[in-house]
Amino acid sequence: MWKRLHQFASPKFFYHFSGHLIPWLWGAFAIFLIYGLISGLLFAPPDYQQGDAYRIIYVHVPAASLSLMVFSVMGTMSIIYLIWRIKLADVVATASASIGAWFTFLALVTGAIWGKPMWGTWWIWDARLTSELILLFLYLGVIALRNAMKTPDTAARAVSVLTLVGLVDLPIIHYSVDWWNTLHQKATILKLAKPDIAPSMLYPLLAMMVAFFLYYCALMLMRVRIELLEREKRADWVKNILYPSTNGIGASKD
């Protein structure tokens, strides 16, 4: 099993393996997205209080969930990098940072758009909203710190430490609605014992969350592959992929 795991840490193996995986991820993403959109926008009944405005939930909640999940993936990768110095872990964290920042941005923007008709305001310095905004700043800080450092190893170490410090914000975001009085509603779907949402509204939401997750996986792998080509540009396997005709070894279809 360890041998298999070590194989995954090899840039060459990971590049080719992810190349086979990406089309399947896009295919599965399309299926979940189509089901989620059709059932969420067309068949789910309107909310008894919010009417059809609640349908923003199908993009807002998946974006918000992914903003937290991507940062926790970055945290895990940072631990792996700091302990075992596996470079691929740093590449995955790098590739995830900008995707996570965009998910956070989308969660904030769609939340503001939903908040206007429901709360009467685009923004309020509420615990949930403010902690989510801090998460966006953390993502931007991680990206800026990496770009500011010239040595890749130093950048990777500094970014890993910042990411681990930033992990403190995740439980604050999650429990903010329980710890403080906020305008934001309390957890509804994470109460697995008995979610406070009707199944006809819940299933499309779960499908959209899966779709967003698959989108993240596919896009992250695309970014990882590009990052690997850039970082390993002097390696023979990269030369074979980028300019197969010049060395006569042959093209890779990946």
Footprint on this chain of another protein (rule: CB under 8 A): 41-46, 51-53, 55-56, 59-60, 63, 99, 102, 105-106, 109-110, 113-114, 116-117, 215, 219, 222-223, 225-226, 229-230, 233-234, 239, 242-243, 246-247
| Nearest-approach distance from CB 178 to another protein, in angstroms | 26
CB-nearer residue toward another protein: 106 or 170: 106
| Nearest-approach distance from CB 163 to another protein, in angstroms | 21
> Phi, psi at residue 79, to the nearest 5°?
-60, -45
CB-nearer residue toward another protein: 24 or 243: 243
| Nearest-approach distance from CB 114 to another protein, in angstroms | 7
Please give the Cα distance from 134 to 173 (Å, whole number): 9
CB-nearer residue toward another protein: 109 or 133: 109
| Nearest-approach distance from CB 52 to another protein, in angstroms | 4
Bridge partners (DSSP) of residue 51 are 47
CB-nearer residue toward another protein: 31 or 242: 242
**In which residue are the tokens 């190893």 written?**
153
Residue 151 φ/ψ region, left for φ over 0, alpha for ψ in the -120 to 50 degree band, beta for the rest = beta
CA proximity to 32, closest of 168, 214, 231 = 214
The answer to whether 162 and 175 have CB atoms below 8 angstroms apart is: no
| Nearest-approach distance from CB 5 to another protein, in angstroms | 27
Residues with Cβ < 8 Å from 92, sequence gap 6 or more? Answer: 73, 77, 220, 224
| Nearest-approach distance from CB 184 to another protein, in angstroms | 16
CB-nearer residue toward another protein: 128 or 223: 223
From residue 239, how far is each of 79, 203, 246, 252, 253 by CA, in Å?
A: 31, 46, 9, 10, 13
Please give the Cα distance from 233 to 11 (Å, whole number): 11
CB-nearer residue toward another protein: 55 or 146: 55
Q: What is the DSSP letter of 40?
A: I
